[in-house]
Amino acid sequence: MVRINSAFIEKLRSYGSFDINACYNCGNCTAICPLSTENNSFPRRMIRAAILGLEERIDSSVDPWLCYYCGECTDTCPRDADPGGLMMALRRYQIRKFSVGKIGDFFYKSFHSFFVWLILTLIGVAGIFYFKGNPDMEEIKPLSLFSLDLLHYAGIIAFVFLLVIVFSQLYIMLKSTNFKSESSNKSGNYFKTFFTVLFREVFFQERFEKCEDKSRYFAHLLLVWGFIGLFIATITIMMMDFFAPHSEGIRIIPKILGLISGLPALYGTLYFMIIRAKKKGSYAKFSHHTDWMFILLVFLAILSGFALDILRWSSLFKVYYFTFAFHILVVFELIVSFPFTKFAHILYRPFALFLVELRNSRK
Ligand code: SF4
Ligand code: SF4
């Protein structure tokens, strides 16, 4: 039996700005969308489901993740219903919906979110004080500012915590989409599909490239590449600290990779901050407070990382100390909030594309 939630559209309003009740179902948005296909037709299908209050149909759909919010449907909608805005709101709704223990609720409700960020900041600051104590700034050397061993153990704990949450949430999404029962009679090549999605959609963002606004595509591509480079550089340095703590010479390689990757990532974050601040285009017309928190944290993490690389060679020990503390605090907040905020799109979008690719390859 199909259940109808008449209050669903009202619930959705807290996740975005749109006027979907104005829609008269002309289908123009689906016709103009460069990403909508016969097999995966959106956004009209999602619009109908939202208007009719078919909450379960929305929960079980991966369509919101197939949209890159190019805004072409919004710009050409004859009723100004903002279908692109609705798709964005649905993604925020699903991030909250798929979060373990509904933790996402705390980040998406503005009132609660203020306290969540405050608590995370206090925990981070307390952790930094606990690890370091009260150093005499004039005597310490830059590399002995923090107990690196303790930091690395904290990093490993955070990593394990993230893995558990990430796989739990992907499982929740998988269960919600009922994907298994749809395709249980057919065979599929999981690895081939996984690597196809990884190369085409993660490394080269092929679907995103179909959107008309190429500057947004390039900024996003640079951000993704920069982010991957920074991730590899950070993990490599952490591994070296553990397994080869005296290998100062070869550490230069991941450090250079970090510096090279930081530049495109910084450009990407700055680009998105500027177009959001200027409300440039339908994509940036409305920004949820969670969008701002995510992009700000990424920007601050990269910027403080850069500053550390420069300060490392200076004698400004106090400045280095506080920059390091700030960097750790920002990275801590970013990591802990990752599965419950906009950051989680790097998880759900590839997974949705993987499921769609698998489904299509079996037809
Ligand atoms: S959202 Fe706009 S373009 Fe899409 S079906 Fe409704 S009225 Fe037509
Ligand atoms: S915002 Fe772009 S990708 Fe998303 S539904 Fe509209 S036209 Fe398609």
- Judge if the beta carbon of residue 174 lies within 6 A of ligand 2: no
Stretch 54-64: mean pLDDT: 92
- Closest protein CA for atom 1 of ligand 2: 69
Tokens 């920069």, located at residue: 226
Classified as helix, coil or strand, 278 is helix
Q: What share of the chain is helix, strand, coil (3-state, %, to 5)?
A: 75, 0, 25
Classified as helix, coil or strand, 144 is helix
Candidate of 19, 28, 75 to mutate for ligand 1, largest count of ligand atoms within 8 Å of Cβ: 28
DSSP states of 171-216: HHHHHHHTHHHHHTTS---HHHHHHHHIIIIIIS-HHHHTSS-HHH
- Closest protein CA for atom 7 of ligand 2: 33
d(CA 89, CA 86): 5
Candidate of 24, 29, 67 to mutate for ligand 1, largest count of ligand atoms within 8 Å of Cβ: 29
The residue type at 11: K
Amino acid 213: pLDDT: 86
Centre of ligand 1 to C-alpha 84, Å, is 10
pLDDT over threshold 60, residue 87:
yes
d(CA 355, CA 363): 13
Architecture per CATH, 8-97: Orthogonal Bundle (1.10)
Question: What does pLDDT average to over the chain?
Answer: 85
Amino acid 138: pLDDT: 46
pLDDT digits (tens, 9 = 90+) for 97-132: 999 988 888 898 877 888 889 998 998 888 777 666
Q: So where are the chain's domains?
A: 8-97, 101-361
- For residues 223 and 269, the answer to whether their CB atoms sit within 8 Å is yes
d(CA 15, CA 108): 8
Non-local CB neighbours of 240 within 8 Å, separated by 6+ positions? 247, 250, 251, 254
Centre of ligand 2 to C-alpha 4, Å, is 26
CA atoms within 13 A on the CB side of 328: 26
Q: Residue 250: how many CB atoms within 10 A of its CB?
A: 11
pLDDT digits (tens, 9 = 90+) for 221-231: 999 999 999 88
- Between 151 and 356, the more confident residue is 356
Burial class (CB in 10 A: 0-12, 13-18, 19+), 122: exposed
Centre of ligand 1 to C-alpha 60, Å, is 22
DSSP-H helix ranges across 28-135 = 28-32, 44-52, 55-59, 72-76, 83-97, 104-108, 110-132
pLDDT over threshold 50, residue 302:
yes
Q: Which of 113-117, 210-214, 242-246, 267-271 has the lowest mean pLDDT?
A: 242-246
- Closest protein CA for atom 8 of ligand 2: 33
**Ligand with smallest separation from the Cα of 65:** 2
d(CA 264, CA 311): 21
Q: Could you tell me the two tokens for 73?
A: 């449907």
- Judge if the beta carbon of residue 84 lies within 6 A of ligand 2: yes
Q: Could you tell me the two tokens for 315?
A: 């004698």
pLDDT digits (tens, 9 = 90+) for 274-294: 999 998 888 888 899 999 999
Q: Of the CATH numbers 1.10.3470, 1.20.950, 1.10.3210, 1.20.1300, which one belongs to the domain with range 101-361?
A: 1.20.950
Q: Find, among 39, 66, 64, the residue nearest to 361 by Cα.
A: 39
Burial class (CB in 10 A: 0-12, 13-18, 19+), 228: middle
249-255 long-range Cβ contacts below 8 angstroms, 24+ apart: 255/309
Q: How confident is the model at residue 247 (pLDDT cuts 50, 70, 90)?
A: low
Q: Could you tell me the two tokens for 346?
A: 């790097």
- For residues 260 and 228, the answer to whether their CB atoms sit within 8 Å is no
For the CA of 83, the nearest atom of ligand 2: 6
Candidate of 29, 47, 73 to mutate for ligand 2, largest count of ligand atoms within 8 Å of Cβ: 73
What residues flank ligand 1, with Cβ below 6 Å? 23-29, 44, 47, 77-79, 81, 83
Non-local CB neighbours of 280 within 8 Å, separated by 6+ positions? 274
- Judge if the beta carbon of residue 347 lies within 6 A of ligand 2: no
- For residues 258 and 304, the answer to whether their CB atoms sit within 8 Å is no
Give phi and psi for 19, each to the nearest 5. -130, 65
The residue type at 8: F
d(CA 169, CA 172): 5
Q: Find, among 79, 84, 75, 23, the residue nearest to 51 by Cα.
A: 23
Centre of ligand 2 to C-alpha 133, Å, is 52
